[in-house]
Amino acid sequence: MNDYRQLWTELGVNLELHDQLLKSLDQAHHRTHLAQQNRPDTMKIFDEAFHASHAGRVAEILDYRKKGGKSIGTFCIYIPDEIALAAEVIPIPLCGGSGWSVHYADKMFPRDICPLVRSTFGMAFSGTCPYKTIKDFAVGETTCDAKKKAWDLLGFKVMEVPQRKKPIDRQLWLKEVYEFKEMVETLSGVKVSAETLRDKIKLVNAKRRNLQKIDDFRKLANPPISGLDALLVAQVALNQDIRKFIANTADLINELEQRARKNISSYSENGPRILIAGSPSPMGNAKIHAMVEQAGLQIVADESCTGSRYFRELVDETASDLDGMIQAIADRYFNIDCSCFSPNSERLDNIEKIIKDYRIQGVVQNILQYCHTYNIEAKAVENRLKKINIPSLQIETDYSEEDIGQIRTRVEAFAEILRKT
Amino acid sequence: MKTSSIGIDLGSRTTKIVVLRDGSLAKYEIFDTGCAPLSHVKTFLRDYPGSPIMTTGYGRHMLAEELSAKKVTEIKACAKGAFFLFPQCRTVLDVGGQDCKVLSLDDSGRVLNFEMNDRCAAGTGKFLEVMADTFKMNLNSFVNTAMETSSHISINSMCTVFAESEVISLITRGKPLNEIARGVHISVAKRLTVMLSKYLTKEQMLFVGGGALNECLNNLLQDEIGREIICPENPQIVTALGASLLA
pLDDT, tens only, A238-296 = 999 999 999 999 999 999 999 999 999 999 999 999 999 999 999 999 999 999 999 99
Question: Is the pLDDT assigned to residue B2 strictly greater than 70?
Answer: no
Cis peptide before B87 (omega within 30 of 0): no
B199 at the A interface (CB within 8 A)? no
> In this complex, do B99 and A406 lie within 8 Å of one another by their Cβ atoms?
yes
Find, among A271, A355, A254, A377, the residue nearest to A308 by Cα: A355
**How distant is the Cα of A404 from the closest Cα of chain B, in angstroms?**
9
Query: Rounded mean pLDDT of A78-107?
Result: 96
> In this complex, do B73 and A396 lie within 8 Å of one another by their Cβ atoms?
no
A389 at the B interface (CB within 8 A)? no
**How distant is the Cα of B234 from the closest Cα of chain A, in angstroms?**
23
Find, among A298, A258, A295, A254, the residue nearest to A276 by Cα: A298
B194 at the A interface (CB within 8 A)? no
Is residue A404 within 8 Å of A291, Cβ to Cβ? yes
Residues B95-115 pLDDT 10s: 998 889 999 999 999 999 999
B113 at the A interface (CB within 8 A)? yes
Query: Rounded mean pLDDT of B235-244?
Result: 98
Q: How far is the C-alpha of A416 from the C-alpha of B10, rounded, in Å?
A: 19
Report the chain B residue with the minimal C-alpha distance to residue A391: B113
pLDDT at res. B148: 96
Query: Rounded mean pLDDT of A66-83?
Result: 96
| Confidence grade of residue A54 (pLDDT, cut at 50, 70, 90) | very high
Q: For chain A, what is the mean pLDDT? A: 96
Q: Which of A396, A397, A413 is nearest residue B76 as measured by Cβ atoms?
A: A413
Pairing assessment for the beta strands A392-397 and A362-368 based on DSSP bridges: parallel
Q: Which of B73, B111, B119 is nearest residue A409 as measured by Cβ atoms?
A: B73
Count H helices and E strands in chain B, helices first: 9, 9
Residues A397-417 pLDDT 10s: 999 998 999 999 999 999 999
Question: Is the pLDDT assigned to residue A193 strictly greater than 70?
Answer: yes
Give B246's contacts in chain A (Cβ within 8 Å).
none
Q: Which of A406, A420, A421 is nearest residue B116 as measured by Cβ atoms?
A: A406
> In this complex, do B111 and A391 lie within 8 Å of one another by their Cβ atoms?
no
pLDDT at res. A299: 98
Cβ partners under 8 Å of residue A47, min gap 6:
A29, A33, A34, A232
Q: How far is the C-alpha of A49 from the C-alpha of A55, rounded, in Å?
A: 9
Beta strands in B86-213 (DSSP E): 89-95, 100-105, 111-116, 204-208
Question: Is the pLDDT assigned to residue B1 strictly greater than 60?
Answer: no
Cβ partners under 8 Å of residue B121, min gap 6:
B98, B127, B130, B160
Residue of A416, A418, A420, A421 best to disrupt the B interface, most CBs of B under 10 A: A416
pTM (2 decimals)?
0.94
| Confidence grade of residue A2 (pLDDT, cut at 50, 70, 90) | low
Residue of B114, B115, B117, B195 best to disrupt the A interface, most CBs of A under 10 A: B114
**How distant is the Cα of A413 from the closest Cα of chain B, in angstroms?**
6
Give A406's contacts in chain B (Cβ within 8 Å).
99, 116-119
Residues constituting chain B = 247
Q: Domains of chain B (ranges plus CATH)? A: 4-74+239-246 (3.30.420.40), 87-231 (3.30.420.40)
Task: Give the rounded percent of residues in chain A with a pLDDT score beyond 70.
Answer: 99
Q: Domain ranges for chain A, please list them.
A: 2-419
Q: How far is the C-alpha of B77 from the C-alpha of B20, rounded, in Å?
A: 14
Residues A115-174 pLDDT 10s: 999 999 999 999 999 999 999 999 999 999 999 999 998 899 999 999 999 999 999 999
B112 at the A interface (CB within 8 A)? yes
Pairing assessment for the beta strands B100-105 and B89-95 based on DSSP bridges: antiparallel
pLDDT at res. A198: 98
Size of interface A-B (CB pairs under 8 A): 38
A396 at the B interface (CB within 8 A)? yes
**How distant is the Cα of B74 from the closest Cα of chain A, in angstroms?**
8
Give B113's contacts in chain A (Cβ within 8 Å).
391, 417
Handedness of CA A143, A146, A147, A148 (dihedral sign): positive
Q: Under DSSP, is residue A39 helix (H, G, I), strand (E, B) or coil? A: coil
Residues A357-409 pLDDT 10s: 999 999 999 999 999 999 999 999 999 999 999 999 999 999 999 899 999 99
A402 at the B interface (CB within 8 A)? yes
C-alpha neighbours within 13 Å on the C-beta side of residue A242: 22
pLDDT at res. B122: 80
A379 at the B interface (CB within 8 A)? no
Q: How far is the C-alpha of A358 from the C-alpha of B202, rounded, in Å?
A: 37
pLDDT at res. A100: 95
A392 at the B interface (CB within 8 A)? no
ipTM for the whole predicted complex goes beyond 0.95: no
| Confidence grade of residue B171 (pLDDT, cut at 50, 70, 90) | very high
Give B120's contacts in chain A (Cβ within 8 Å).
none
Cβ partners under 8 Å of residue A68, min gap 6:
none
Residues B123-156 pLDDT 10s: 888 899 999 999 999 999 999 999 999 999 999 8
Residues A295-328 pLDDT 10s: 999 999 999 999 999 999 999 999 999 999 999 9
Is residue A329 within 8 Å of A83, Cβ to Cβ? yes
A409 at the B interface (CB within 8 A)? yes
Residues B41-74 pLDDT 10s: 999 999 999 999 999 999 999 999 999 999 999 9
Question: Is the pLDDT assigned to residue B224 strictly greater than 80?
Answer: yes
A416 at the B interface (CB within 8 A)? yes
Q: How far is the C-alpha of A210 from the C-alpha of A213, rounded, in Å?
A: 5
Provide φ and ψ at B143, rounded to 5°.
-65, -45
pLDDT at res. B91: 97
